[in-house]
Structures are given as C-alpha cells and as structure tokens.
C-alpha cells in the first residue's frame, strides 16, 4: 500500500457495526493525532472503501453481521497484500489474537483494554510495526509452546465462525445462508468440529461456544 504524502493526515478506516463503538473510537483517535477517519458498518462497505479510498490502516472488529472478521481480513489482504490491519475485538482469548496474526493482521487489541492501548496500537501499526498488549503477547507466546492449550486452537476461521453462530442460537440453515454456502457444508463443518472438540452433539458445540464466549 502506498504511503500517505508528507503533510497529509493518515487515513484510518474503522470497521464496526456498533455506532457507539465507532463514535468512541473516532473521538479517541481524533484527539490522538491528525487522522482522517472513515467508517464502515459492514464487511461489504469496508471492501468498497478500501477499493475506492484506500486507507493507511484498518481497525477491524471481528464480529460483523455480513462477513466474518477473519474472512474479511483475508479478502482485504488479497485486495492489497500490504494492507495494515489492526483487529479491535471483544474476544480476549489468545487463540483469536493468534488466528488474526496468522491471517496477516498487524496487531490485536481487545475492547476491554485501556484506551491508550488502542492509540498506541494504531501508531505502531501505522509505523510498520506489530502490536500486542504485554499480557496478550505473553499468552500468544505461551500458546506456541503448549500445543492445544485452548480447545479452540485447532479450529479454522470458518469453523470458528460456525461455532460462534451456533452459540448465538442460529440454526444450521441460517448459518449456511449467512455464509453463502450449502446446508451440507455447514453440517459437515459441525461434524469436523465435533471430532476436534470431543463433542457428541450440536448441543455440545453450543455449550462450548457459550462457555468460551465465542462471538461472530
């Protein structure tokens, strides 16, 4: 991605479907630097803006209504391999941070972190670095030395999305519609997840999703 010309405010794209979150982030970042801030409330809108008005960095929530956050991250990187994406998520499990970094994100901040963490993360990502809070960095590092520390660690991005939808009460047919795939594909994904997670039924998968607070 081409850099912003000297003297021009760096352009940020906030991608979150909650207006209150976007408003809070906009105010916080506006007070932290001379940023030009765009907003998108869906994955489709984010893709459109990244194509027509390429940002210097994207601040991305994983829980979007139309496209899974990790799926969107993959699409953004295919559109622009050098794009700088900072994930800003409610998920505090290190498995999500590890997944995001593996998918090409340049940082991961949770919505429960102090506001200063988001400001610092944006600055680091814009400067070309990678940002994790100290606690999250330690947990991600530990994961690399303790195989299967989290039962979610072995799931793919699609499997995590399906599990999250199950935890929200969605039926398999509804999940298939949301993901734009067949009923059989989602059913097969559930079968694979049951094997990976040691679950015997869809009810077990729902319990796992709720216990680990997996959100779409």
Residue 141's domain is classified under what CATH number? 3.40.50.2300
Residue 99 and residue 169 in one domain: no
- Cα 84 to Cα 86: distance, rounded to the nearest angstrom: 7
**List of long-range contacts for 41-45, beta carbons under 8 Å, 24+ apart:** 41/15, 41/16, 41/17, 42/17, 42/66, 42/67, 43/15, 43/67, 43/68, 43/69, 43/71, 43/72, 43/75, 45/15
- Full domain range(s) for residue 202: 157-211
**Which has the closest alpha carbon to 24: 108, 119, 106, 146?**
119
**Which has the closest alpha carbon to 190: 214, 144, 155, 139?**
155
**pTM score:** 0.71
DSSP state of 10: P
pLDDT at residue number 67: 82
Residue 69 and residue 167 in one domain: no
Residue 131 and residue 203 in one domain: no
Q: Going residue by residue through the chain, which has 216 residues, state the pLDDT in tens, using 9 for 90 and above.
A: 545 555 688 999 999 999 999 999 999 999 998 899 999 999 999 999 999 999 999 999 987 878 878 888 888 999 998 999 999 988 787 878 887 888 899 999 999 899 999 999 999 999 999 999 888 888 888 766 555 556 787 888 889 889 988 887 788 998 998 888 999 999 999 999 999 999 999 988 988 887 777 766
Residue 118 and residue 20 in one domain: yes
- Cα 128 to Cα 181: distance, rounded to the nearest angstrom: 36
CB burial readout 177-191, b (16+ within 10 A) else e: ebbeeeeebbeebbe
- Strand, helix or coil for residue 142: helix
pLDDT at residue number 7: 63
As given in the structure block, the two tokens for residue 116 are 């200063």
Is there a contact between 133 and 109 (Cβ–Cβ < 8 Å)? yes
């Amino acid at each position: 991605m081409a850099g912003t010309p000297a003297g021009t405010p760096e352009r940020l794209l906030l991608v979150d479907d909650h207006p209150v979150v976007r408003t809070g982030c906009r105010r916080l970042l506006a007070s932290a630097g001379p940023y030009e801030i765009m907003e998108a409330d869906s994955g489709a809108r984010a893709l459109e803006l990244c194509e027509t008005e390429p940002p210097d960095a994207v601040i991305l929530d994983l829980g979007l209504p139309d496209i899974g956050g990790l799926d969107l991250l993959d699409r953004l990187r295919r559109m622009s391999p050098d794009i700088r994406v900072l994930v800003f998520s409610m998920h505090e499990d290190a498995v999500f941070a590890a997944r995001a970094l593996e998918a090409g994100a340049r940082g991961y901040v949770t919505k429960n972190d102090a506001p200063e963490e988001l400001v610092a993360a944006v600055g680091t990502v814009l400067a070309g670095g990678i940002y994790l809070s100290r606690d999250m960095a330690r947990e991600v590092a530990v994961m690399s030395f303790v195989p299967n520390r989290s039962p979610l660690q072995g799931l793919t991005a699609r499997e995590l999305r399906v599990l999250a939808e199950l935890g929200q009460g969605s039926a398999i047919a509804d999940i298939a519609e949301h993901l734009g795939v067949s009923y059989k594909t989602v059913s097969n994904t559930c079968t694979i997840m049951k094997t990976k997670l040691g679950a015997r039924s869809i009810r077990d998968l729902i319990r796992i999703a709720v216990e680990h607070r997996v959100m779409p």
